[in-house]
Amino acid sequence: MSRNIFQIKPARRPARFIALTGLAAGTSALVLAGGLLNSSPAYAAEAKVGLGTVASYSVLGGASVTNTGATTLQGNLGVSPGTSITGFPPGIIGGVKHAADAPALQAQTDLTTAYNDAAGRAMTANVGSTLGGKTLVSGVYTASSSAGLTGTLTLDAQGDPTAVFIFQIGSTLTTASSSSVSMINGAQPCNVFWQIGSSATLGTNSNFVGTILAHTSISVTTGVTVHGRALARIGSVTLDTDVFTTPACLRTTPTGTSTATPTTTATNTNGGPGPGTGTGTGTGTGTSTDVGGGPGGSTTPRNAGHGTTTNAAAIVAATSTTGPGATVNGRPNGVPLTTRLASTGLSPLFVPSLVVGPLLLLGGGLLLIFGRRRTAKLH
């Protein structure tokens, strides 16, 4: 009997190939999910430097504070352990003057803590000795020795109002006359900190931004505007016809629905009914102001009607009861799962990868078993 050389053998490779492909795809999907689970944002946000009670001060000296001319301070003025404060008046203090008292001593203690905090931050980049003409994003910038600012230094928050900028200057900081620090894309003066190893000098008619934490002394020359603070640990602070504004952080609270009873006053010039009161329901967005570097202060919703909201309950009701800002049973309401995952640094692909992976593994395994059984029967 002759053997049929054209006998067709069962095709086993396609089924096995499909099974192995399914197993490989499933494994890849699970590896992808594992990688996404363990992934983290490329850059962690830099935390603010905690100021404690010294946040309420525009100027704080260690040995003395001396002023010439009509300097204006929005916040407190203090000195400790020294006792000498001169030049107020003619200088104007918007807050309270503390000379070698308990609040000034506590402020110096908090200044030391803040100084050490800023000095201990991990460096993002070495900024060198020249700051003028540079544009910097959030981070910690170090100058190993002295640093100078001529022209404009630009701080770019890249749309993040919580972006923090910390400068570590090994020795002295000197700004030239008419120099400036510019804030763009949501950057805020409350998030800028200058840790100075020795002393700082701000040039005439310059525009400076941030809180100076100087180990020794600070000299603010004539006509300087400081959107921040001048805080010296052991030396003196000298001023000359300058303006200090307290750097308050503004944050937007969640949009929600608030119910209030506003009081309205109407003036009728046509002889009709006189002033009266009315009630209304308003919906609006509040903002919080943070002066001390901690949680925000008060919130004030806008009233959608024509009255002025005077009911204090409206402030409490500014917290959302509906919409993305609300919570239901302790969980965010109206926020998609992928959005919440993104806030933790996970990719939205994590969920589908976690589902598809096991399914592909199961299908591939079944195909492989089926193929082997069929091969056994044929033999």
Say how far apart CA 229 and CA 56 lie, in whole Å: 9
Element (H, E) at 35: helix 13-38
187-213 pLDDT, tens digit each: 999 999 999 999 999 999 999 999 999
pLDDT, tens digit (0-9, with 9 covering 90-100), for 282-328: 444 444 445 444 433 333 333 333 333 333 333 333 333 333 333 43
Mean pLDDT calculated for residue range 121-133: 97
pLDDT, tens only, 215-254: 999 999 999 999 999 999 999 999 999 999 999 887 644 4
- The pTM of the full predicted model, rounded to 2 decimals, is 0.60
- Angle subtended at Cα 159 by Cα 118 and Cα 214, rounded to the nearest 5 degrees: 20
Please tell me which residue, 278 or 150, carries the higher pLDDT value: 150
Q: Which tokens hold the place of 133?
A: 């003409």
Pairing status of strand 152-156 against strand 135-137: parallel
CA torsion sign for 130, 132, 135, 138 is positive
Q: Which of 146-150, 307-311, 349-353 has the lowest mean pLDDT?
A: 307-311
Whether 84 has a pLDDT exceeding 80, the answer reads yes
